[in-house]
Amino acid sequence: MGTRMSYPIEVKQKAVEMRLAGVPMKEIMQELNIKNKTQVQTWVRWHKAGDT
């Protein structure tokens, strides 16, 4: 199993903003050094639900 990552709130917010703006997932992951695409999807889901 991999190690657990913790991302700063700024990275999470930037990833959500980029995704909502239509930036491809691969580009977001490369630019912000995020290892797992489901993590970004989770942040976007939380944002849409108002759980930011």
Domain for residue 33, yes or no? yes
Give 3 or 30, the one with higher predicted confidence. 30
pTM for this one?
0.85
Burial of 47 (0-12, 13-18, 19+ CB in 10 A): middle
Show the domain range for 18.
9-49
Q: Tell me the Ramachandran region of residue 50: left when phi exceeds 0, alpha when psi lies from -120 to 50, beta otherwise.
A: left
Domain for residue 35, yes or no? yes
Please tell me what DSSP assigns to residue 38: H
Domain for residue 27, yes or no? yes
| Residue 31 pLDDT greater than 70, yes or no | yes
Domain for residue 4, yes or no? no
20's CB contacts (< 8 A; 6+ apart) are 44, 47
Domain count, the chain: 1
Domain for residue 29, yes or no? yes
What rounded mean pLDDT belongs to the chain?
93
The CA-atom distances, in angstroms, between 52 and each of 3, 16, 21 are: 24, 10, 17
